[in-house]
Amino acid sequence: MHPPARTRLDGAASAAVTFAAHESGYESVQTVRRVTAVCFVLVLAALAAFVMSLMSGSVEMSVAELWHGLRATDALSHTLVFDLRLPRTLTAFAAGGVLALAGVLMQVLLRNPLADPFVMGVSGGAAVAALAAMLLGMSGLFIDVSATLGALATTLLVFALARGEGGWTAARLLLTGVVVAAGASAVVSMLLSLGEESQLRGMLFWLMGDLSLSSRPGPLLAVFATALALAFPFARHLNLLARSELQARVLGAPVESLRMGMFLVSSILTAACVTTTGTIGFVGLVTPHLIRLMLGADHRLVLPGSALLGGTLVMVADVCARTLFAPRQLPVGALTAIAGVPLFLLLMRRRSS
């Protein structure tokens, strides 16, 4: 038998008081030292990956050559850094940060460690729309707009199909997203079979994540910074919602508005990333788990930490994509998947034990 409503409410209130006490005692000396050390390592790793990305490629550069290229405006190294590698590096960092933020929001929304925008079908909808635009001979801005509209349309479809008499539930949203993602994958396969040979290579690279044409990192960086600035003030609400929806309601968190906002924001983030880089998987799934393992479950740390680590991971993956078989380039999304699958299995094994 289910416990009476008042008993459940009293239990939630007691747990909420305990949670508030935990929040107020967060700033212990040991915790601050550990968090400071981890954040310092994350920043150093991001800076190292950034410099390594500027130096690496089909033409390797030394530290002296990189420094000369940053200072001299008439050198070939200056053109190589500012016209090719710096835009690509900034795009890789922004893409990783955006995907990691979307993954954090999805996992809190559904209270499921397997949730991310790709599982929910959002990236599949963006891919279907973008590939359809390519088949129609469109390019540039038209593909970007199509992918954005496809992601938003998929979001509305998942919400519409998952809505029941009692509103949305996490399990219903997740199952609906998985089904929609499977349908989108089938449509993508059909579109690929209809494409001309001259189009297939570009379509496949776009599906697997391609940073080779990243020349305008500004829009994605703006989306990344805006999303982080908007999400961070709600970190305490995310802490409550991640623990229990009932506790969040008891403490006055706007649960329905938060859930709708998180789904829409994560969808917009995914659409912005897919339109810029194509589909890069496993970053939004694995990164939040790694950060929670290092910094704990407080979203005041999880949000910025995930953004920083996600950007670092994609920068490292992009360096590997450019250098492993240079001068040939590998799709970044394939490398993140190869690294992400065993890493995620290891994390799940550690979590279960």
| pLDDT per residue as tens digits for the range 55-105 | 887 778 888 888 877 777 767 777 888 888 899 999 999 999 999 999 999
Among residues 268, 347, 345, 282, which one has the least CA distance to residue 317?
282
Residue 80 counted as domain residue: no
String of DSSP letters for 267-316: HHHHHHHHHHH----SHHHHHHHHHHHHH-S-HHHHHHHHHHHHHHHHHH
The mean pLDDT value for 146-165 works out to: 83
Q: Classify each residue of 201-217 as buried b or exposed e, where b means 16 or more C-beta atoms within 10 Å of its C-beta.
A: eebebbbbbbbeebeeb
The mean pLDDT value for 152-171 works out to: 78
Residue 12 has pLDDT above 60, yes or no: no
The beta-carbon contacts of 321-329 under 8 Å, at least 24 apart in sequence, are: 321/211, 322/56, 322/57, 322/58, 323/56, 323/57, 326/57, 326/58, 327/58, 329/212
- Terminal alpha carbon distance of the chain: 30
Q: Who has greater pLDDT, 327 or 230?
A: 230
Q: What is the reported pLDDT for 4?
A: 53
**60 in the Ramachandran plot: left (φ > 0), alpha (ψ -120 to 50) or beta?**
beta
The mean pLDDT value for 23-30 works out to: 55
Helix (H/G/I), strand (E/B), else coil: 89: helix
Residue 331 has pLDDT above 70, yes or no: yes
Highest mean pLDDT among 57-66, 98-107, 173-182, 258-267: 98-107
Mean pLDDT lowest among 100-114, 119-133, 242-256: 242-256
Count of domains for the chain: 1
pTM: 0.85
The mean pLDDT value for 177-194 works out to: 89
Residue 47 has pLDDT above 90, yes or no: yes
Among residues 165, 187, 184, 188, which one has the least CA distance to residue 176?
184
Q: Evaluate whether 316 touches 339 at the Cβ level (below 8 Å).
A: no
Q: What is the reported pLDDT for 303?
A: 94
Residue 241 has pLDDT above 50, yes or no: yes
Residue 152 counted as domain residue: yes
Mean pLDDT lowest among 21-35, 246-260, 292-306: 21-35
Across the strands, what pairs with 164?
167
Q: What is the DSSP letter of 234?
A: G
Give phi and psi for 57, each to the nearest 5.
155, -165
Q: Evaluate whether 182 touches 157 at the Cβ level (below 8 Å).
A: no
Residue 192 has pLDDT above 80, yes or no: yes
Residue 117 has pLDDT above 80, yes or no: no
Q: What is the reported pLDDT for 14?
A: 46
pLDDT band at 166; cut points 50, 70, 90: low
Residue 10 has pLDDT above 70, yes or no: no
Q: What is the reported pLDDT for 305?
A: 94
Q: What is the reported pLDDT for 43?
A: 95
Which tokens belong to 145?
Answer: 């707009």
pLDDT band at 29; cut points 50, 70, 90: low
Q: Who has greater pLDDT, 140 or 128?
A: 128
Q: What is the reported pLDDT for 224?
A: 94
Residue 323 has pLDDT above 50, yes or no: yes
CA distances (Å), origin 199, targets 6, 146, 205: 62, 17, 10
Residue 55 counted as domain residue: no
Handedness of CA 46, 47, 52, 55 (dihedral sign): positive
Residue 18 counted as domain residue: no
pLDDT band at 9; cut points 50, 70, 90: very low
Report which secondary-structure segment, H or E, holds 135. helix 122-135
pLDDT band at 19; cut points 50, 70, 90: very low
The mean pLDDT value for 330-344 works out to: 85
The rounded mean pLDDT for the chain is: 82
**279 in the Ramachandran plot: left (φ > 0), alpha (ψ -120 to 50) or beta?**
beta
Residue 339 has pLDDT above 90, yes or no: no
Cβ atoms within 10 Å of 183's Cβ, excluding its own: 16
The mean pLDDT value for 28-40 works out to: 82
Residue 113 counted as domain residue: yes
Residue 324 counted as domain residue: yes
For 106, the domain range is 86-352
Residue 13 has pLDDT above 50, yes or no: no
Residue 338 counted as domain residue: yes
Q: Output the domain CATH number for residue 299.
A: 1.10.3470.10
Q: What is the reported pLDDT for 21?
A: 42
Residue 74 counted as domain residue: no
